[in-house]
Amino acid sequence: MWANLDTFGGGLYPYGLCRPGTGRPERAPMRNVMRYTTAGLEFFAIFGIFLLAGYLLDRQFATLPGFMLLGGAIGFGAALRRLIREAIEMRRQAERDDDRTGERGADG
């Protein structure tokens, strides 16, 4: 399926599924999609848990919206930190895969 799309000049690949500089599809695009989906769900879950905890503390102490805002800020920071770490790990994995196969993109 992907090889047929390449005959149209390689411009029909969805962003992220084509190896940069090669015009060929990635070997495991589904693995990447699942990693991105998992990272997004983790971000939402971490942020939501802290936001909910802040809301529950606000209900307990009748301080709405103080703890909820604090929980949201802490949750956003924690989720963003986790997302950045995951992105760094994805990049390292891609570099290891490139080193293993001997393929390089246009920048390397």
Question: Can you give the pLDDT at residue 11?
Answer: 47
* Residue 3 clears pLDDT 50, i.e. is over it: no
| pTM of the shown model | 0.66
Most distant pair of Cα atoms in the chain: their distance: 65
Domain extent listing, the chain: 31-101
pLDDT in tens, 10-57: 444 455 556 566 666 655 667 778 888 999 999 999 999 999 999 999
Q: Per-residue pLDDT averaged across 1-7, rounded?
A: 45
Question: Can you give the pLDDT at residue 10?
Answer: 46
3-state helix, strand, coil in the chain (%, to 5): 70, 0, 30
Kindly report each contact of residues 14-23 with a partner whose C-beta sits within 8 Å and lies 24 or more positions away, as own/partner.
Answer: 19/103, 19/105, 20/105, 20/106, 20/107, 21/104, 21/105, 21/106, 21/107, 22/103, 22/105
Question: Can you give the pLDDT at residue 96?
Answer: 87
Separation between Cα atoms, residue 44 and residue 20, nearest integer Å: 30
